[in-house]
Amino acid sequence: MILLFAAIAFAAIPDSNAINQQSIAANAAGDYARALELARQARAVCQAAHDIGCEAKAVNNEGVAQLSRGDYAAALTTLETALLLYRQAGYGELEIRMLNNLGGGYFFQGRYMDALQRYREAERRLDETVGQPWHARVRQVTIVNLATLYQTIGQEEKALTLYRDLRNSYTVLSPREQGILASNLGTVYRRLGDPVKAIELYQEAGARLSAEDTLDARIGVLRNIGVAQALDLHDDKAALASFTQTLGLAEKAGNKRGILLSRLFRGDLLRRTGQCDQARADLNAALALSRELNASEEEWKSLYGLGQLDQDMQRYLDAIGVIESVRSRLQASALRYDFLAGKRDVYDAAIRHLLHAGTPDPGTLFQLLERTRARTMQEQLALNERGQKPEDLVALRALRAKIVAWPSRELEAQYEALEQRMGAGRAAPLTLEALQQRLDEQTALLVCWSAGAENAVLWVTRHGSGVHPGFVETFPLDHLPGVKTLAIVPDGDAWFRSIESRLISRYGIFYLPAASLFPVSGPAPARRFPWSKELIVFADPSGIPDPLPASRKEALAIAGLLPGRVRLFLAADNVKRNLRDFSAPLLHFSTHAVADVAAPDRSRILFTPAAGSQEPDFLFLREVYALDLSAVDLVTLSACETQRGKLVQGEGVESFGRAFLLAGAKSVVTTLWRVDDAAAAEFMKQFYYFLGTGVSKAEALRQAKLKFIGSGGKLADPQYWGAFVLYGDGLSPIPPFYSWAWILFGGAAALAALALWLLRHHRGH
């Protein structure tokens, strides 16, 4: 990865100008010691002339030389001094460039939040200088740096969008800057699975950079080509030659970061090709240098490589510790969301080592497993559980929805400030012992792990725990005497279609994004009266190409099965604008849905076209996050594929199930595949019937499935009932309601008692 920052030329006092030009040239050629010496000479000349602007430019060149050779701590101090001098001199363009240089220093140390703040500060200053002749070019430099940061923390698509926009209008950039942009864009394409396009862009970058003879940038391009050769084209011989060449160039120039990255990549290649002694030497050298430079990204990669080389559990744990430390400094969940993409392998290596080392400690295994899934979801739902102000939660959801669509610096800054204020005193991670206290005697938790060809299940009951090596489908049920309900934490997008066929006859089943989201038992909800709203239904969309004839029947059938008041939005009333009342505990959708795995933001639930429109309206996945569903106990999505979505490492599947839980709903019934219209309507009728009997939501779903299995006809096929899964709290029943019969009987009894009292009172007189 190459970050864009530039030494700044100037025209002031002739002697200092000449010295600074020599410093810039020395830096470009890789002679960093000479560049630093010349910059300090120029600074002395400027100070003697009492010229603040001149001094600022000299100090900047001094800081850039320190950055180039990897002296990040010294560079940051120097560049902060230059920033103050530029502000005193009133040099707007150079102040903004300095903010970018400071961001680069923080970036190289893995201090991504600090880097982002400097880049955003540069953007704010750019907004104040629109119309300046240098504005367009400096703005593009800033955007390149932002895109590079997003790319590094795993937000590849956001980075790609920024890079593509820049490619369409980057003629204002210098050849060097164009080359760096092409190199960074090549890395994005490589990570997105297009190494041929990546090599093409790297070669373009090399051609552009050769025109300016900038050594550090050319080293970076050659190193990127080596990475593509090794990891994508599997040309180990060519990759080894590339890394060895970059190492020689970096050592000749004294470029510490170049040495670090060349050692790291070459060491990993040597490890994979079985050259262990040479690999160990390179990786140990990379580790020492990463710690000297405080380069967190390279530190965890070096530790991970050494862990793989020596099968050293402590190395894995140290690598995870560095990753977690960097992640914790990304204060906004919008930045943390994709951070673990590409880092899951480190956690898997530690888990694999633990499983192979004998009898693994369930508590240690549990902590590692919890760190591999639904991380930001755990953190965001923890905010919901700590008695936050309702208006803050609504504001946080609304900001999250806008940021998912496309983040702006203003929205992200608002989100960070609000989340940081709400997240003060964040709870410690859940321990295995604390989880067991949440379990009752009849419930077991199965936490699944899958990495390549290896699979395992951590099982937990109130009084025991252990590990089963293999798929959850092969789990020995004799470990669970007396258990009637299973809470399953799947791994990734593997939802184990066959498990329910095997287990549904014995267990009610529900799924959780992470074990820490296992429901905490509380007081039973107060029984509600039949005039209170219980169910809101959106069904029977009209004016659509593919009508759902059974949808209306489904809505009317479930409405007649519950004692509370029902609000039906059918046909022409089934419009999106009516989706604003969430005061009922049950919310039901019977319609079409589309899961877009490539772009989850485009996943959508269909509504009847709005008045005056011929096109169907949609509730998009990103919009669900902004809903306030804190009063909703159960959302039922009787629609196709609502549990499908893009898999994000460390987070899980971006599905409607996840979105509705984050919006505050306690549980969601979703679907794994396309469902038949008539069969879905019949299934929902059975499900709501059993919900009305007062059993848990998991048991109601189980009974509905058993009803289908016992039918003996085509509905017994899992194709018709297996798609429906319960996501979230499956242990509690739906909130209880008094029936009108109970009210009438109670009223009659009260009147009879009153009449009897009056009669006795009358006789007493």
Strands 465-469 and 508-511: unpaired
Cα gap 611→615, rounded to integer Å: 10
Position 308 pLDDT exceeds 90:
yes
460 — pLDDT class (breaks 50, 70, 90): very high
Position 558 pLDDT exceeds 90:
yes
Candidates 86, 113, 83, 85; CA nearest to 101 is 83
Cα gap 145→107, rounded to integer Å: 9
Q: What is the dihedral of CA 332, 334, 335, 337, to 10 degrees?
A: 120
Cα gap 511→229, rounded to integer Å: 41
Position 410 pLDDT exceeds 70:
no
CA atoms within 13 A on the CB side of 589: 26
Provide CB contacts within 8 A for 150, sequence distance 6+.
156, 158, 159, 162
Would you state the pLDDT for residue 591? 92
Cα gap 733→268, rounded to integer Å: 53
Phi, psi of 72 (to 5 degrees): -70, -40
Would you state the pLDDT for residue 15? 74
Strands 593-594 and 586-590: unpaired
Lowest mean pLDDT: which of 422-431, 505-514, 674-683? 422-431
Phi, psi of 454 (to 5 degrees): -100, 145
Cα gap 380→375, rounded to integer Å: 9
Place of tokens 């119309």: 131
- Contact call for residues 149 and 334 (beta carbons, < 8 A): no
Residues pairing with 604 in the sheet? 594, 620
Would you state the pLDDT for residue 419? 67
Position 738 pLDDT exceeds 70:
no
The predicted model gives 701-720 an average pLDDT of: 92
Higher pLDDT, residue 151 or 333: 151
Lowest mean pLDDT: which of 41-50, 398-407, 728-737? 398-407
- Contact call for residues 108 and 293 (beta carbons, < 8 A): yes
Tell me: the pLDDT tens digits for 184-243? 777 777 767 777 888 888 888 777 776 665 666 677 777 878 887 887 778 899 989 999
3-state DSSP of 656-686: HHHHHHHCCCCEEEEECCCCCHHHHHHHHHH
Q: Which 8-state DSSP code applies to residue 431?
A: P
Would you state the pLDDT for residue 272? 92
* Amino acid residing at 249: L
Highest mean pLDDT among 137-141, 337-341, 392-396: 137-141
User: Where on the phi/psi map is residue 704: left (φ > 0), alpha (ψ -120 to 50), or beta?
Assistant: alpha
User: Where on the phi/psi map is residue 52: left (φ > 0), alpha (ψ -120 to 50), or beta?
Assistant: alpha
Would you state the pLDDT for residue 763? 57
Higher pLDDT, residue 423 or 236: 236
Position 424 pLDDT exceeds 50:
no
599 — pLDDT class (breaks 50, 70, 90): confident
- Contact call for residues 492 and 340 (beta carbons, < 8 A): no
Position 708 pLDDT exceeds 80:
yes
14 — pLDDT class (breaks 50, 70, 90): low
552 — pLDDT class (breaks 50, 70, 90): very high
The tokens describing 524, both together, are 């039973």
Would you state the pLDDT for residue 553? 94
Would you state the pLDDT for residue 625? 83
Would you state the pLDDT for residue 335? 63
Angle at which helices 256-272 and 276-293 cross, to 10°: 150
Q: Which domains, ranges and CATH numbers included, belong to the chain?
A: 11-90 (1.25.40), 105-173 (no CATH), 440-517 (3.30.420.10), 533-734 (3.40.50.1460)
Cα gap 698→445, rounded to integer Å: 14
Place of tokens 């994979």: 272
Strands 565-571 and 533-541: parallel
650 — pLDDT class (breaks 50, 70, 90): confident
Tell me: the pLDDT tens digits for 249-293? 888 878 888 899 999 999 999 999 999 999 999 999 999 999 888
Would you state the pLDDT for residue 565? 87
Would you state the pLDDT for residue 403? 59
- Contact call for residues 203 and 226 (beta carbons, < 8 A): no
Would you state the pLDDT for residue 412? 65
The predicted model gives 547-556 an average pLDDT of: 92
Question: Is 568 strand, coil or helix?
Answer: strand
3-state DSSP of 423-469: CCCCCCCCCHHHHHHHCCCCEEEEEEEEECCEEEEEEECCCCEEEEE
Would you state the pLDDT for residue 9? 44
Question: Is 586 strand, coil or helix?
Answer: strand
Strands 485-489 and 443-451: parallel
The H-or-E segment that residue 18 falls in is: helix 14-28
**Cα angle 611-612-614, degrees, rounded to a multiple of 5:** 100
- In 595-633 the beta strands, taken as DSSP E runs, fall at 604-607, 617-620
- Contact call for residues 501 and 472 (beta carbons, < 8 A): no
* Amino acid residing at 581: D
- Contact call for residues 359 and 456 (beta carbons, < 8 A): no
Percentage of residues of the chain with pLDDT beyond 70: 83
Q: By CB neighbour count within 10 A (0-12 exposed, 13-18 middle, 19+ buried), where does 217 fall? A: buried
Position 12 pLDDT exceeds 50:
no
Position 311 pLDDT exceeds 70:
yes
Residues pairing with 233 in the sheet? none
Candidates 701, 684, 687; CA nearest to 507 is 701
Would you state the pLDDT for residue 332? 59
Tell me: the pLDDT tens digits for 432-452? 999 999 999 999 999 999 888
Would you state the pLDDT for residue 11? 44
What b/e readout covers 348-363, taking b as 16+ CB neighbours within 10 angstroms?
bbbbbbbbeeeebebe
Tell me: the pLDDT tens digits for 330-385? 755 566 667 777 788 999 999 999 999 878 888 999 999 998 888 877 877 765 55
Phi, psi of 627 (to 5 degrees): -75, 150
Higher pLDDT, residue 751 or 197: 197
762: number of Cβ within 10 Å: 8
Greatest extent of the chain over all pairs of C-alpha atoms, in Å = 121
Q: What is the dihedral of CA 427, 432, 438, 442, to 10 degrees?
A: 160
Would you state the pLDDT for residue 334? 60
Tell me: the pLDDT tens digits for 68-107? 777 888 888 888 898 888 888 888 888 898 898 888 888 8
CA 175 to chain centre: 35
The predicted model gives 572-593 an average pLDDT of: 91
Would you state the pLDDT for residue 6? 47
Higher pLDDT, residue 474 or 390: 474
The predicted model gives 131-160 an average pLDDT of: 82
Number of DSSP helices (H) and strands (E) in the chain, helices first:
31, 16
- Compute the mean pLDDT over every residue in the chain, rounded to the nearest whole number: 83
Question: Is 570 strand, coil or helix?
Answer: strand
Higher pLDDT, residue 465 or 334: 465
Position 644 pLDDT exceeds 50:
yes
The tokens describing 429, both together, are 């991670």
Q: Which 8-state DSSP code applies to residue 715?
A: G
Candidates 560, 553, 523, 529; CA nearest to 539 is 553
Cα gap 372→320, rounded to integer Å: 11
- Contact call for residues 31 and 249 (beta carbons, < 8 A): no
Residues pairing with 129 in the sheet? none
Q: What is the dihedral of CA 64, 69, 70, 71, to 10 degrees?
A: -70
The predicted model gives 566-584 an average pLDDT of: 91
Cα gap 608→5, rounded to integer Å: 52
Tell me: the pLDDT tens digits for 488-506? 999 876 666 667 778 888 9
Position 487 pLDDT exceeds 70:
yes
DSSP assignment of 266-303 equals HHHHHHHTT-HHHHHHHHHHHHHHHHHHT-HHHHHHHH
